[in-house]
Structures are given as C-alpha cells and as structure tokens.
C-alpha cells in the first residue's frame, strides 16, 4: 500500500522539484492549501506516471472520436491533445462531508490528428479526409464531481461516481481556429469558403461538434484523478 508521502515523493520527485507534502499538510476544509497543491502538482501529474499506470494527459493520445450530429459525420483518428499542463486552476475544493470535488480551470489546448468528414456544416456541404488541427483558446471547464467511498482490501478509498459526465460544463471564451487539410480532395476553391465559414462561426461550430470530443477528453482526466484517489487511503488525505 502506498502512503501519501511516498506518492508525493514519487510525483514531485520525478520532476526534480522539492517534495511539497500537501496532503499531509492540508487540513480538512483548508481550500487555499488544496488549491495551491492542485496548482503545483498539475504540470507533473499530467505528464503521467507510467510506473503507476497513470497515462500521460499532456500529450494525450486519443485513438478515435466519432461525432454524428445535425447531418454532419465527423471522425477524428489518431489524435493528440496538448496543453493541459498549462491549465490555470481557478478552483479546487474537496468537500469531504458532502462528498463533492469542485474543479474549475481555464486552458489553451490543441488537438491534431487525422480527420474524415462528410455532411453539412451550417449551410455548406463539406467532405474530406486528411490532417487536422484545432486550436482552442481559453476554454473554461467546471465540474462538481460526486464522490463516494470504495473498499479495497478492507481500506476505504475515495472514488469518483460514474455520473461524472453529467457534472461538467465548459465554454470557449477566446476563440477556436480550425485547420483541415485536403478538404474536397484538395480543391481549394471548394475548401476555402468552408474553412472561412468554420473559423468565422467557431462558436456555433464548437457547440455542434465539441460535446463528443470533450467527453472523451474529460473521461481520460477523470480516469487520472480516479487513479490518484484510488492510490491513497481516504483517511490519509488530510491531517487530522
């Protein structure tokens, strides 16, 4: 069984940073302490700890995302998301009495990979396949996760409830830039108006295409936090 101190030595030591034993230092309800821990450990945690089975979140590899909404079939294959390590964590509250974890963060992220598209976007028909890149600037993400206890070999651990996908909201504040190579088999006369339309109407387009993308990404994040919670006994999370 891993102790909190060993886990943190591992996480923070891996980065060569000095060990900041937040979990043993934060008292229940000390939100400022929790927030500063969340901020300082984020860049290290998102890099992953393969020895402990924590996958990297930055870069995050996503083999397939499929979206089929409003007459548009969209497939993103072999994608890579970067940028999560630069997220600004604005809120991180662990309410152990009500079993809630509140998280609010703002990030700039980039998704790249291979796409296939067929259908209609707003008023224009679109089709193609090739490389894509989507730059998302200033996306604010907020989640109020339900937590519960799970017993592992007689020891209580925190876990995130399975209804996590109903607990988050997000909004892109600053803008989105879409790049799709080889639309209409490389016919620039057809491709340019579509790209211009996508980039001019990024807000509407994101509302249509982003839900399945965001759900996959959040799923990986929830898995990472679940792994972290699962590796520390619940009664070792805070100093008494």
Nearer to ligand NAG among residue 144 and residue 190 (C-beta) = 144
- In angstroms, the CA 101 to CA 218 distance is 15
**Least distance in Å: CB of 167 to ligand NAG?**
5
Nearer to ligand NAG among residue 37 and residue 115 (C-beta) = 115
Taking a C-beta distance cutoff of 8 angstroms, is the pair 9, 44 a contact? no
**Least distance in Å: CB of 39 to ligand NAG?**
25
**Least distance in Å: CB of 80 to ligand NAG?**
8
- In angstroms, the CA 122 to CA 70 distance is 9
Nearer to ligand NAG among residue 162 and residue 203 (C-beta) = 162
**Least distance in Å: CB of 132 to ligand NAG?**
12
**Least distance in Å: CB of 60 to ligand NAG?**
14
Nearer to ligand NAG among residue 2 and residue 229 (C-beta) = 229
Q: Please list the residues that pair with 64 across neighbouring strands.
A: 77
Q: Which residues bind ligand NAG (CB under 6 A)?
A: 78, 146, 163, 166-167
**Least distance in Å: CB of 136 to ligand NAG?**
20
Angle at 33 between CA 92 and CA 18, to 5 degrees: 110
Nearer to ligand NAG among residue 61 and residue 192 (C-beta) = 61
Nearer to ligand NAG among residue 42 and residue 111 (C-beta) = 111
Taking a C-beta distance cutoff of 8 angstroms, is the pair 142, 198 a contact? no
- In angstroms, the CA 5 to CA 231 distance is 12
**What percent of the chain is helix, strand and coil (3-state, nearest 5)?**
35, 45, 20
Angle at 176 between CA 109 and CA 219, to 5 degrees: 45
- In angstroms, the CA 150 to CA 160 distance is 10
Taking a C-beta distance cutoff of 8 angstroms, is the pair 224, 54 a contact? yes
């Amino acid at each position: 069984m891993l102790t909190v101190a060993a886990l943190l030595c591992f996480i923070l030591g891996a980065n060569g940073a000095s060990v900041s034993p937040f979990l043993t230092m934060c008292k229940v309800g000390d939100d400022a302490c929790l927030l500063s821990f969340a901020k300082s450990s984020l860049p290290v945690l998102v890099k992953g700890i393969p020895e402990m089975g924590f996958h990297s979140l930055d870069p995050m590899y996503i083999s397939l995302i499929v979206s089929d909404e409003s007459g548009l079939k969209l497939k993103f294959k072999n994608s890579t998301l970067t940028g999560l390590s630069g997220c600004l964590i604005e809120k991180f509250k662990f309410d152990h009495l009500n079993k809630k974890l509140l998280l609010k963060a703002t990030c700039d992220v980039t998704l790249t990979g291979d796409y296939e598209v067929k259908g209609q976007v707003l008023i224009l028909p679109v089709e193609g396949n090739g490389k894509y890149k989507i730059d998302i600037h200033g996306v604010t993400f907020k989640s109020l996760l339900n937590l519960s206890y799970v017993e592992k070999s007689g020891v209580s651990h925190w876990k995130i409830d399975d209804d996590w996908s109903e607990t988050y909201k997000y909004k892109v504040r600053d803008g989105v830039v879409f790049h799709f190579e080889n639309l209409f088999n490389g016919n620039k006369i057809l491709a340019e108006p579509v790209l211009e339309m996508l980039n001019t109407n990024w807000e509407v387009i994101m509302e249509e295409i982003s839900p399945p993308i965001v759900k996959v990404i959040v799923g990986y994040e929830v898995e990472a936090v679940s792994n972290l919670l699962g590796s520390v006994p619940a009664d070792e999370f805070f100093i008494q």
